[in-house]
Amino acid sequence: MTDLTQLTLRQAHQALESGECSSLELTRATLERIERLEPKLHAFITLTPELALEQAAQADQLRARWRREGGELPPLLGLPLAVKDLLCLAGVRCTCGSRILENFIPPYTATSVERLLTAGMVVIGKTNTDEYAMGSSTENSAYGPTRNPWNLRHVPGGSSGGSAAAVSARLAAAALGTDTGGSVRQPASFCGITGLKPTYGRVSRYGLVAYGSSLDSVGAFGRTAQDVALVFSQMAGYDRRDATSMDLPLPAIQLEDDDSSLAGLRIGVPDEYFIQGIQPEVENAVRRAIVSFEALGAFVSPVSLPHTEYALPVYYLIAPAEASANLARYDGIRFGARLDSDNILDLFTRTRGQMFGAEVKRRIMLGTYALSAGYYDAYYGQAQKVRTLIKRDFEQAFEKVDLIAAPVAPSTAFRFDEHLDDPLAMYLEDVFTLPANLAGVPGLAFPVGFDSNNLPIGMQLMGPHFREDLLFRAAHAYQQTTDWHQRAPSLS
Amino acid sequence: MTDYEAVIGLETHIQLNTKTKIFCSCKADSWSDAPNTNICPVCSGLPGVLPVPNKAAIEKGMLLAAAMHAEIQPLSYFDRKNYFYPDLPKGYQISQYDMPLARGGYMQLPLPDGSVRQVSIHKLHIEEDAGKTKNENGLRLIDFNRCGVPLIEMVTGPDLRSADEAAQYLTRLRQLLRWLGVSEADMEKAHLRCDANVSIRPKGAAYLNPKTEIKNVNSIEAVREAVGKEIERQIREVEAGHKIEAWTLEWDEDAGVLRKMRSKETEADYRYFREPDLLPVRIHEEWKQKVLSKLPELPLERRNRFINQYGLPEYDADILTGDRSLSEYFETAVKTYSGDPKRVSNWLMNDVLRMLNESGLTADQLKLTPQFLAEIIKLVDAGTINNNTGKNLLEKVQQTGRPPAKLVEEEGLARVSDDSAIRSVCQEVLAESPKEVESYKSGKVTLIGWFVGQVMKKMRGKADPNIARKILEELLG
Amino acid sequence: MLTLQEVEHIAILARLELSAEEKERFRRQLSAILEYAARLQELDTSGIPPTSSVLPPRSVLRPDAVEPGLSVEELLKNAPRSENGQFRVPPVLGLE
């Protein structure tokens, strides 16, 4: 009997189609595996087994009707999905990895999640995250860290560490994450799976608890580019509840099983991403992958993104500034935790001071300072202008190439507590992923090898605005001719 | 002894009368609703929700800007104004900072001495309202119903020179807002809110002295009173050799006094930055023209036109243009009447206006249409009915909605000018009142009025009293 | 680089109560981050417009039509303290 949890979305769909298994069986198998492995991994903050079984039963009913009436079985019907605990699901608590929202139950569902529910997916739980998406290792979760399925002493990456670990450990074939500064691509890379950061404005942010509003995006994890494309196609598109969602048609993303030619595709390799300090095995694996693209027919050439080194200071002024305002609503009045007092000032400062984690407080302080009177021009103001330069770098590069290839992180998954008292060192982990968020361009991360410690190495492709189709096409071709993405961590 | 002049600027917040709030689809008007029954995740600032701007709010803002002669900007941005307060759910207010909906603007205020005060507008932007805090039995309670209602903030330059002018400005502003149909502008319901900035300086000086800010004035009269008192206070202080400090004062309506508010913390640092959840508002020429094509002739313009075109006195013009539908009623009546506009104005200002005030209707809601009014006046002019009958006819037409001519016919209200008919009634009256005839013949000639009255009574007011009088005099010798 | 006073000022602006230890730790860490961020000053950005959104500017507006919102119960479900359908907060502002 096939281990149902090892199936990709595509394979699981075929199994449901052929009647080889039911959604209930698939869901139960998933929940059993979770029960076994969760104590080790802690990928989830809240599991929703009853809800999942209910949804699976409904999916099976719809499948029975399809069997009678014919037509096409919807590709995501009855398949389990994990959702990062930053995306609201009505009636289920949404903690955002924070103590402040420990008991917050939203009365609304995020549009991205809603669309996948409409497509028939089964939500098995809310995954662990750095508090309010602020972090690169999921160590900042108030509910304890998640462990990397490839090595339990190493971080899974962050902030979507829970979702990445879940997919990597086969606790779900697909999961939703969010990417504001690399929080989908970096954990995908650390956990050896495929992860998409869509173009800003491509997927609705309604129901996504805001961190950096001009940078946030809802992304997806899967074990193949095909799977991720499936989830993306379903959740993307204009939403009238999000004034920053673009009303543009989705390109058809057809990824056939023998699609592996990239003739005509121009890939640029930016020197600025291959800096000193990258783990040599990471650089080698990425360069080897780029050679593979050439072998598949792509034309590879150098490009320059001259302002890359400034992405980090720009991001760490803009994101905290927006966050400082986005997190001002946590005041203990309408929802969330509250440490009462006899005056309002204390109510606010005590609740927030004692219930936000250190990283969150640090970024709120940083953001408040960057916006404050007398400092706005030098910090936030200047950062906004340099952001324009970074965006223009990409625009100019995309006049010459179709895609840009680069590493995702300077190293493979690091150990817990590696950057314990050095926030700046932690921030430096994000150097390669931040630029895409600042420019709003889409990025797709996928595995290209392993280091000598058997930790996964990922690379990313970045494309012009709204050209996710190019990313999927290239990654899919690569995955047709390599098997890094098929390797699984050895967990019992 | 120095002559001082007051320097007053007014900061107003205007609640737009759109159906829904500015960034969500909740009802905008919740004046009579129970607390927290008019909210949604967006306006109550729950995590993960996003604002989506209301097109009608922008369009009403555009109309107001145009009516205030301000330049509508082709590109304007929303900004976050960051501060903490229990009734501000997001911990920031979505407002506009350096790239607002409109720039410049003015209102030309007609003053009683015939001159015009040009009041400049320094700020005109759109923003969202916050909730309401109530103090009840020592508890501080918050109601978020009002969160997200669209507001226009409009700030004048320091151009007003007296408490009366301040009141006048607000009166004209209120009139304009109702005229345009962008706000109910009822100060008691907080549709129109005002803070006043007051300072004084020697007459003729060009510099500005420190100003005080007056808050919590909830009616035009309160503004007049509070500003007046503050001007007096400042003059007293300066004469006594003291300096005016930039206090914030709260008006106590019951006691009729201003009190110094506890001084706020140092000037708040609002840390304005562009609202990332909203794209800038792009107003193309086409959209602008479409909206502005709905811009009516403005109240002051119409007032001046009525003076010039119809030769009306200022007093009449003011009353007739006090309300837009009344002014339109007047013009339609004048066009139909095609006679002396002053005549129409008199009828309108006395009887019809009283009818409107008593019934609470607006002029366009009357069954007594302007055409009917013109008809009635013409009937009186022609002598078909007399003046009193005419006045009564107004009521009858309003009640029934039937054309005046028809009512005159049906109820036999036409004035009787027929000599013989009147003559016989006169003879009747004289025959029935021998004592009075005796008195008259003995010299009490003032009784003629009484005789005429009796004839009118018998003829139910329809007789031409002049003819009756002549006949009586003839009969009495 | 940042003084303790500045840290305290920002903490008040952001409504965050910090322990003495936190203030000192943040002072150090934020100073390091801000110093790193100061390298942005190297760039000549005269004439460069700021990017407040990566999307092209265009008006996205909603029609003026009422839609149902939340019921009082739903809104108050998550409320820590309420009274008669309203949210309760301490009566004193506490700002001096």
Q: Does B49 touch chain C (CB under 8 A)?
A: no
Cβ within 8 Å, pair A345-C45 = no
Q: Which of B46, B82, B278 sits opposite A328 (nearest CB)?
A: B82
Give catalytic residue positions of A.
Answer: 84, 159, 183
Q: What are phi and psi of B98, to 5 degrees?
A: -100, -5
**Paired sense of beta strands A44-47 and A122-127, if any:** antiparallel
Percent of chain B with pLDDT over 90: 71
Contact between A381 and A373 (Cβ < 8 Å): no
- Rounded to the nearest angstrom, the minimum Cα separation between B274 and chain A is 10
Chain B residues whose beta carbon lies within 8 Å of the beta carbon of residue A207:
48-49
Determine the distance from the C-alpha atom of residue B151 to the mean position of all C-alpha atoms in its chain, rounded to a whole number. Answer: 19
Mean pLDDT of B110-129: 94
Mean pLDDT of A327-356: 89
Sorted by where each begins, the domain ranges of chain A are: 4-306+392-486
Question: How many Cβ pairs closer than 8 A exist between chain B and C?
Answer: 116
Residue A372 per-residue DSSP state: S
Alpha helices in B73-219 (DSSP H): 163-180
DSSP A40-70: HH--EEEE-HHHHHHHHHHHHHHHHHHHHH-
pLDDT at A262: 93
Comparing alpha-carbon positions, the chain B residue that sits nearest to C66 is B25
pLDDT score of B265 more than 60: no
What subunits touch chain B, counting only 3 or more CB pairs under 8 A?
A, C
SS3 A371: helix
Chain C residues whose beta carbon lies within 8 Å of the beta carbon of residue B283:
59
Sorted by where each begins, the domain ranges of chain B are: 4-291, 299-410, 419-476
Comparing alpha-carbon positions, the chain A residue that sits nearest to B36 is A334
Chain B residues whose beta carbon lies within 8 Å of the beta carbon of residue C9:
none
Chain B residues whose beta carbon lies within 8 Å of the beta carbon of residue C59:
53, 58, 279-283
The per-residue pLDDT for range B317-364, each reduced to its tens digit, is 999 999 999 999 999 999 999 999 999 999 999 989 999 999 989 999
pLDDT at A1: 58
Determine the distance from the C-alpha atom of residue B109 to the mean position of all C-alpha atoms in its chain, rounded to a whole number. Answer: 14
The CATH classification of domain A4-306+392-486, taken from the options 3.90.1300.10, 3.40.50.620, 3.40.50.180, 3.30.450.20? 3.90.1300.10
Q: Which of B89, B276, B279 sits opposite A334 (nearest CB)?
A: B89
Q: Does B269 touch chain C (CB under 8 A)?
A: yes
Q: What are phi and psi of A157, to 5 degrees?
A: 95, 180
Rg, Å, chain B Cα set: 30
Chain C residues whose beta carbon lies within 8 Å of the beta carbon of residue A340:
81, 90
Cβ within 8 Å, pair B50-A206 = yes
Mean pLDDT of A337-352: 88
Q: Does B271 touch chain C (CB under 8 A)?
A: yes
Comparing alpha-carbon positions, the chain B residue that sits nearest to C55 is B279
pLDDT at B80: 98
Other residues' Cβ atoms within 10 Å of the Cβ of residue A373 = 12
Higher-confidence position of A258 and A86: A86
**pTM of the predicted model, to two decimals?**
0.91
A137 phi-psi bin (left φ>0, alpha ψ -120 to 50, beta other): alpha
Comparing alpha-carbon positions, the chain C residue that sits nearest to B92 is C14
The per-residue pLDDT for range A461-474, each reduced to its tens digit, is 999 999 999 999 99
DSSP A119-158: TT-EEEEEEP-SGGG--SSSTT-TT----BTTBTTB---S
- Rounded to the nearest angstrom, the minimum Cα separation between A300 and chain C is 27
Query: Number of C-alpha atoms within 13 angstroms, CB side, residue B30?
Result: 25
Cβ contacts of A9 within 8 Å, gap of 6 or more: A75, A76, A79, A173, A174, A222, A226, A227, A230, A231
The per-residue pLDDT for range C35-77, each reduced to its tens digit, is 999 999 999 999 999 998 999 887 789 999 999 888 878 877 8
Q: Which of B140, B144, B273 sits opposite C89 (nearest CB)?
A: B140
Chain C residues whose beta carbon lies within 8 Å of the beta carbon of residue B57:
64
The per-residue pLDDT for range A170-214, each reduced to its tens digit, is 999 999 999 999 999 999 999 999 999 999 999 999 999 999 999
CATH 1.10.10.410 fits B419-476, yes or no: yes
Rg, Å, chain A Cα set: 21
How far apart (Å, rounded) are the C-alpha atoms in residues B325 and B327?
Answer: 5
Percent of chain B with pLDDT over 70: 98
Q: Which of B26, B55, B141 sits opposite C86 (nearest CB)?
A: B141
Contact between B362 and B323 (Cβ < 8 Å): yes
ipTM: 0.95
- Rounded to the nearest angstrom, the minimum Cα separation between C12 and chain B is 10
Q: Name the residue among B189, B158, B153, B146 with its Cα closest to residue B173.
A: B153
pLDDT score of B444 more than 50: yes
Cβ within 8 Å, pair C61-B55 = yes
pLDDT at C59: 78
Q: Which of B77, B142, B278 sits opposite C87 (nearest CB)?
A: B142
How far apart (Å, rounded) are the C-alpha atoms in residues B348 and C1?
Answer: 76
What subunits touch chain A, counting only 3 or more CB pairs under 8 A?
B, C
Contact between A41 and A169 (Cβ < 8 Å): yes
The per-residue pLDDT for range C76-89, each reduced to its tens digit, is 788 887 777 788 88
Cβ within 8 Å, pair A335-C78 = yes
Comparing alpha-carbon positions, the chain C residue that sits nearest to A325 is C14
Mean pLDDT of A377-399: 97
Cβ within 8 Å, pair A369-C34 = yes
> How confident is residue C96, by pLDDT bands cut at 50, 70 and 90?
very low
* Residue B317 tokens, joined: 């013009």
- Rounded to the nearest angstrom, the minimum Cα separation between B268 and chain C is 9
The mean pLDDT value of chain B amounts to 92
